[in-house]
Structure 1
Amino acid sequence: MNLLFKKILGPRQTEYLLANHSLIVQEVSPGVQRFAEIPSEVQPGIDVRALFPELIGIENILMSIVLGSKPSFELKGVARFSESTYPLYFDILILANEEEHQTNKLLILFEDATERMVMKQSLVQKANEANLLLSALTASRDYVDKILRSMADALLVTTTLGTIKKANRAAQLLFGYSELELIDLPLSMIVIEEELLYQARHRYILSHKELARDLEVVCTTRSGEEIWVEFSCSAIQTELQELYDFVYIGRNITERKQQEIEIRRSLAKEQELRQVKSRFFSMIAHEFGNPLNTVLFSTQILKEYGEEITTAEKKQYLEHVKSASKHMVQLLDDLRLLSSAEAGQLQFNPAPLDLPKFCADLVEGVKISYGKNHAINFLEFDRTVEPDPKNAKQTQKMQKLPGFDKKLLRHILTNLLANAVKYSEIDSNIYFELSWDLEKATFQIKDEGIGIPDKDRGQLFESYYRAENVGKIPGTGLGLSIVKQCVELHGGQIEFTSELGAGTTFTVTIPCYQKQQND
């Protein structure tokens, strides 16, 4: 080993050894023994791994250094323990020997790191102690902060029976009473659900179980306003044994509760929208599936057996295709109409209309399309008064334009009549009564069908909603939603009465004439 190199290593408490490519020790410095696992065996000719087992398992790395593919390798903080002395810590640095005639050898340096490691451990220990102290200080600070915060909250002290003995400033501000007004006041005067607190007090007296924490109750202020207050309760032993006072520390959580209510409403709305979406896709799959199957089946029969079936049978299959196609077109029209209505784009175009003739023609059309097996009875009642030529105001009123949109009115009445047919037994009666005067027209459609269950009535006009008793009767749940919006565009109202198993009556009332500005 180079003499100059040895002189450099001396002051640094660094020792060395040289090993060949077979990891056999070739040369050692005088002080290397103290770093070895077995100091007495340190001598040339021994396998370096026997002296330093830390090198076992890294032979590939060592050979890479010998061959020059890796410049060095370092192990830090290696420890040697002895029963008679303190632990020894050292670092190992492995290099390729660069001296002439010393190639293919390893130079392994050992540097005493005991002082550094002991200092590091001491610093770690002090840091841990500092962290523990900091945690204790933080806990103490949090404890003080909680006390300060609680004093900013409402504080009430009551007897076992719930009579208020003391109230702080925050409680006075929260409930709107002065301290004198609160003293000797029953807690039930400000806490609507005081029964909960009463039960908690007596449970503690009987069993000494922990009192309720974060108990949310509705309270009332002096002005009558209801607020939500979150109370934490504790018991205090009085001068008399087994007699307690109770401390209530509360904070106003009305805003939070309102937010929770709003969140619950939003979640309920979201759930409702998911259900609507589910009903919509279910409806689409069902209502388009059946007519599409009809079309596919009929066209397949005509394609494969067209030459074998009779003309009458061909005509029948074509009618099936036509009917199914009309059903799908009607469904698409309903969807477009509903989309326009919900987007506020549904047009309302009132025009003069001969109501009796319009309704009579519509009934005949419904009979042909839907009511072949039902008796649809149309009745009309003109309740207007013949105009008096001498009464100019009445004559002017009779000349006002009627406010009916023919297209929307047709949709209203056709849908209600079609529903009456759909949900009624074959050969049953359906009654359509029209009555009108100078102010309004009333359309009443009555059937003897299955009726509407009570629990479904509140949602009957919602999109895609169908009553639970419809069974396998086809339908989309769109019709009544569209009807209601068409009625509202006319400025009218729609109502219904129903008896389960006995029938339903829908009544639509629509203003006949547009009001003039000088009316």
Structure 2
Amino acid sequence: MENARLLHAIIETAIDGIITIDSRGKMESINPAALKLFGYTAEEVMGHNISMLMPEPEQSAHDHYLEHYQQTREKHIIGKGREVKGLRKDGSTFPFRLAVSEVQYQDRKIYTGFIHDLSREKEAEERLRDYAAELENLVEERTKSLKKTVTALREAKEEVSLSLEKEKELNQMKSRFVSMASHEFRTPLSSVQLSASLIEKYAEPYENPQIAKHVHKIKNAVGNLTTILNDFLSLERLEAGRVEPAFHEFDLVKLAEEITEEMQMIAKQDQNIIYQHTGLQSVVMLDQNLLKNCMINLINNAIKYSGENTFIEFNTEINERQCIVTIKDNGIGIPDTDQKHLFQPFFRAHNTGSIPGTGLGLNIVLRYAGLMNGEVQFESKINKGTTFILSFNK
């Protein structure tokens, strides 16, 4: 008796709905949670067929489903079940997860249905989908706006260069424009990136591939825009004379290994960065931040302009006279006619196609290397790859 009272108390206070029916589908018991979900009183449903709680077409098909269940003994295990719709007394419907178990009671069989309301989960999923779509539209608008700004900047540079007599005046105008663009776009881009990360975090329990797809697109778009903005800011600081190298000793091998690990994460499928150091020494006296920027820029180019299933060689060497950094790929290469213009600002080789880029990276590498009294050399053959070499005298 004590066990029976305990079981009754558990059923009566359960959060999920619990309904038992006989072999003909008539309801024999229903707990308060189920009554609240469907909006009925116990007197209104007891003895009636369970199909009254189902919308069409499930209502008409219920007897067939119950007969099939009895014949095949296909059981929906508690905790898995299947997603169905319920019909409330007021005519509205709601989604719930139904788990059914068969119980042998005395000389007959009864069926117990466990009902878990999914209304809040579905509403949350819908809000997340709407929010992801809204963010995607926002990023698309920002992308168009920033592209227009970049295009305007390039057009402004071409027009001003024809009318101004001195390069200094052109740089001053460009500097003011880039500073304004940085202020206007950096904060909203950071907000979009943070919001996308939060959506990704909160959407994990739903395992919805569409949300993950759109969040990935948002992050990629923001990453591309941030790279463009950083290139323009670096150029602006260089031309304004605000970049001063800070020489200090650091472990070149440790820095290179960290960069290799970082860049491997953004490499294409089956694209491997192979790092190797030559020499007994590992400590150099250079500006670590400027050198890191040069390495990342060159490796990023190797990743972009090489295909999948390729190797990127990343080598460092310290000998008695020099510190040498080499990045070699087997990508699309640089046409001979374009090589003499390669380090000019905004210049991009004619075979880059739709591969994203600003045409500023190599100009920045050349100037950063120059600030550290270094040199940049390269060799390239079309469709066979490119090798860049940074060298710094000790």
TM-score, normalising length: structure 1: 0.37
Structure of greater Rg: 1
More helix by share: 2
Choose between structure 1 and 2 for higher RCO, CA contacts under 8 A separated by at least 6 residues: 2
